[in-house]
Amino acid sequence: MDAEKLNIKTLAAKYNYEKKALIAILQDIQEACHYLPQEVLGEVSKTLDIPLIDIISVATFYKAFSLEPKGEHQVTVCVGTACHIRGAPKVLDEFEKKLGIKTGQTTEDMKFSLDSVACLGCCAIGPVVVVDGNYHAQTSIRDVDKILKKY
């Protein structure tokens, strides 16, 4: 869904126009648009009567939110200590090579965004790659093509 089709009043009504629902509303917007468009945040500001700067502060505080367009599929590679020891840097390098982007970037066709995190909390099954919430355990560079083909 794009920003033009997103009805902020309907979305806010789902949460009874409560200011304390800001994070939930931002999550819904992020899910629908794959990022938080500036014009949509302005509508949220007016609808919930929250200063735009406060909304942007929340949006930039949490890594789950992005103010830049993200790809249709979000690829996240854990590079925490346990995953690092088991080869996560090589897995991340392979994703960068196959996608033609660096960590933190999105492919030109807007199909994939690539990120890394310090820990996903599932060290026993590392290296771990998460694509759209689906966990891929004990990932090696040989698995990268298979993972990307699924999406």
Domain assignment present for 129: yes
Q: Is the pLDDT assigned to residue 5 strictly greater than 90?
A: no
Domain assignment present for 7: yes
Domain assignment present for 92: yes
Q: For the chain, give the longest Cα–Cα distance.
A: 50
Classify 41 as helix, strand or coil.
helix
Alpha carbon 65 to chain centroid, angstroms: 6
Domain with 125, as residue range(s), is 73-150
Domain assignment present for 99: yes
Classify 97 as helix, strand or coil.
helix
Q: Is the pLDDT assigned to residue 37 strictly greater than 80?
A: yes
Q: Is the pLDDT assigned to residue 2 strictly greater than 90?
A: no
Q: What is the pLDDT of residues 44-83, one digit of tens each?
A: 999 999 999 999 999 999 888 999 999 999 999 999 999 9
Q: Is the pLDDT assigned to residue 3 strictly greater than 90?
A: no
Run of H or E residues at 76:
strand 73-78
Q: Could you tell me whether strands 134-136 and 129-131 are parallel, antiparallel, or unpaired per DSSP bridges? A: antiparallel
Report yes or no: 91 and 129 within 8 Å, Cβ to Cβ. Answer: yes
Q: How many domains does the chain have?
A: 2
Q: Are residues 134 and 103 in the same domain?
A: yes
- For residue 140, the domain's CATH number is 3.40.30.10
Q: Are residues 128 and 87 in the same domain?
A: yes
Amino acid sitting at position 82: A
Q: Is the pLDDT assigned to residue 1 strictly greater than 70?
A: no
State if pTM tops 0.85: no
Q: Is the pLDDT assigned to residue 103 strictly greater than 90?
A: yes
Amino acid sitting at position 6: L
Looking at residue 52, its pLDDT comes to 97
Domain assignment present for 33: yes
